[in-house]
Amino acid sequence: MFSLFDNINPIHFLYLLYGASFLFLGVSIAAKDMKESKLKLGESLWLLSSFGFLHGAHEWLDLGTWIEGKNLSYQQIFTAEAVSVCLLILSFVFLMYFGFSLINVIHEKSIQRYKTIITACLFLIWLLYLLHTGLPPISMQFLKRADIGARYTFGFIGSLLTAYGLIAYSGDVRPLSLSVSRRLKYTGATFLFYAFFSGVFSSHYTMPLVPVPIELLRGGAAILITYFICQALNIFDIETRRKIEQQARLLVQAEKLSSLGRLAAGIAHEINNPLTNASLGVQTLKHKLGSEGTSNDAVVRLSAIEKNIDRASLIAQELLQFSRPKESGFQPVNINDAIRSSLDLMQYKLSNIDVAQRLASIPDVMGDPVKLEQVFINILSNSVEAMPEGGKISIASLQNVDMIEVRITDTGCGISKENQPRVFEPFFTTKDIGSGTGLGLSMSYGIISQHHGFIELTSKPGEGTAVTIKIPAKERYEKDTYRG
């Protein structure tokens, strides 16, 4: 029954397991749906997947050559070994580029030129190593030296870069999932050991301090790498779940705003007429009392009544504006112009505030410039009120694919975690009674929704608040409108 395995020794089982581990790594990554992910890790995992496929194929090709060596001609064995060496080099190049990709994300600077220079230097070192041997390129010994040279150069450096990249990137996903962050860190640590097991020690080597074949240590590292990466891939499921939860919250918010909008419209209509009549009556009384020479105290009291009527009327107007979203009259608008105009209008409030602008060259959006200015004024006003002793406001605009993003951050007192989900609710405010209506951010939410965009707020108590606005660029807006 077991005659099939008579010619297979334990080292062959190690190579079988070694290759299977990396092939499974490649399949696991390739089968994962990452199209809608915004994680930078998803953009570079295909490189790690390619490494898994190629390296696994290399190990199995070597295994097949060893098992069937007696039945193959020298030319067939040489061809198989040559293909195996090519797969090895290519797999390590993909691994090295995966490490470069992660490092590029971490440091947010392009290292494209360094990547090219390092690759060229490693290839030159590998080539000089081969030429130094003086072996003919058609010999098996030459292929063996090519294998060793590739491990010393591409394999060792690629594994080190990947180890550093994974360990450093683990901090970026920590807010999303602590367990995934740990798995990425463990993967990086395992790659560090793999750099020495695969990139320094040649095959069939037995370490003096650890009297086991190097293939066993490589296989163990491969299994751990595959295990940790497969667990870390859960980050995309977590991200998808967070998106669904956020969309559900936005839907509930939209329905709530719609219902409150209808209620607000009825209330505003019902109180506007009495307020108008009361205001006219107070003005008539003031004029009559003033002409009759009545005491100044009565006139002062009537002025106070008139001031409160005006405030109530202003709230009614805000309610009407909140309840009447209109999309008509949209025109091409440059977000940067709306930001600058808002800052000009807010100049008197920004006297003790340091305003930093990083406005990129961006395409227009379709919208209402007056309403967009109102959004920015509302957000800036909240930031100023959160920094009574002064502080800093940073405003940045950029283009992200077909969306225009504006990010406004301040160094104010921040918003508590329990209050953050409620900031866009109508009439919700953390200000003192009489200091605000709680409609500013609700109106801003409605205006951005009218522009087919999104508004998000993140805050840390004692550190400040960041508001991000995303509006589709003019071309995308026109495409969506045409499809609709």
> Looking at the predicted structure, is the pLDDT value of residue 309 above 70?
yes
Q: Which range is least confidently modeled, 288-292, 350-354, 359-363?
A: 288-292
Question: Residue 2: what pLDDT?
Answer: 43
User: Residue 213 pairs with which residues in a beta bridge?
Assistant: 206
Question: Residue 336: what pLDDT?
Answer: 92
| 245 vs 209, higher pLDDT | 245
Q: Tell me the per-residue pLDDT of 126-167, one tens digit each, with 9 for 90 and over.
A: 888 888 777 777 788 888 888 888 888 999 999 999 999 999
| 8 vs 380, higher pLDDT | 380
Q: Which residue has the tokens 């195996």?
A: 84
Question: Residue 318: what pLDDT?
Answer: 62
Give the Cα separation of 131 and 136 in Å (integer): 9
Q: Are strands 391-400 and 353-359 parallel, antiparallel or unpaired?
A: parallel
> Looking at the predicted structure, is the pLDDT value of residue 194 above 80?
yes
pLDDT classification of 49: cutoffs 50, 70, 90: very high
pLDDT classification of 430: cutoffs 50, 70, 90: low
Give the Cα separation of 36 and 230 in Å (integer): 19
pLDDT classification of 334: cutoffs 50, 70, 90: very high
Q: How many CA atoms lie within 13 A of 341 on its CB side?
A: 13
Question: Residue 27: what pLDDT?
Answer: 93
> Looking at the predicted structure, is the pLDDT value of residue 15 above 70?
yes
pLDDT classification of 184: cutoffs 50, 70, 90: very high
**Overall residue count recorded for the chain in this entry:** 484
Q: Which residue has the tokens 């105009």?
A: 341
> Looking at the predicted structure, is the pLDDT value of residue 3 above 50?
no
Task: Sort 345 into a burial class: Cβ within 10 Å, 0-12 / 13-18 / 19+.
Answer: middle
Question: By three-state DSSP, how is residue 359 classified?
Answer: strand
Percent of the chain residues past pLDDT 90, beyond the cut: 24
Task: Sort 15 into a burial class: Cβ within 10 Å, 0-12 / 13-18 / 19+.
Answer: buried
Give the Cα separation of 346 and 351 in Å (integer): 9
Got the DSSP string for 39-67?
A: -HHHHHHHHHHHHHHHHHHHHHHHHHHHH
In the chain, DSSP finds a helix count (H) and a strand count (E) of: 14, 7
Averaged confidence pLDDT in the chain: 81
Q: Tokens in use for 346?
A: 């807010």
Q: Tell me the per-residue pLDDT of 230-240, one tens digit each, with 9 for 90 and over.
A: 999 988 888 88
pLDDT classification of 276: cutoffs 50, 70, 90: confident
Q: Which residue has the tokens 């112009």?
A: 337
Q: Which range is least confidently modeled, 49-63, 84-98, 126-140?
A: 126-140
Q: What pTM did the predictor assign?
A: 0.61
Give the Cα separation of 360 and 344 in Å (integer): 19
Highest mean pLDDT among 111-125, 296-310, 364-378: 364-378
Query: What is the rounded average pLDDT of the residues 268-275?
Result: 68
Question: Residue 166: what pLDDT?
Answer: 93
Which domains, from first to last, does the chain contain? 3-232 (1.20.1070), 245-324 (1.10.287.130), 328-484 (3.30.565.10)
Question: Residue 118: what pLDDT?
Answer: 85
Query: What is the rounded average pLDDT of the residues 381-399?
Result: 90
Percent of the chain residues past pLDDT 70, beyond the cut: 79
Question: Residue 401: what pLDDT?
Answer: 77
Query: What is the rounded average pLDDT of the residues 407-421?
Result: 87
The beta-strand segments (E) located in 338-453 are: 353-359, 365-367, 391-400, 403-410
Give the Cα separation of 234 and 388 in Å (integer): 44
> Looking at the predicted structure, is the pLDDT value of residue 398 above 60?
yes
pLDDT classification of 89: cutoffs 50, 70, 90: very high
pLDDT classification of 261: cutoffs 50, 70, 90: low
| 294 vs 338, higher pLDDT | 338
Give the Cα separation of 280 and 306 in Å (integer): 9
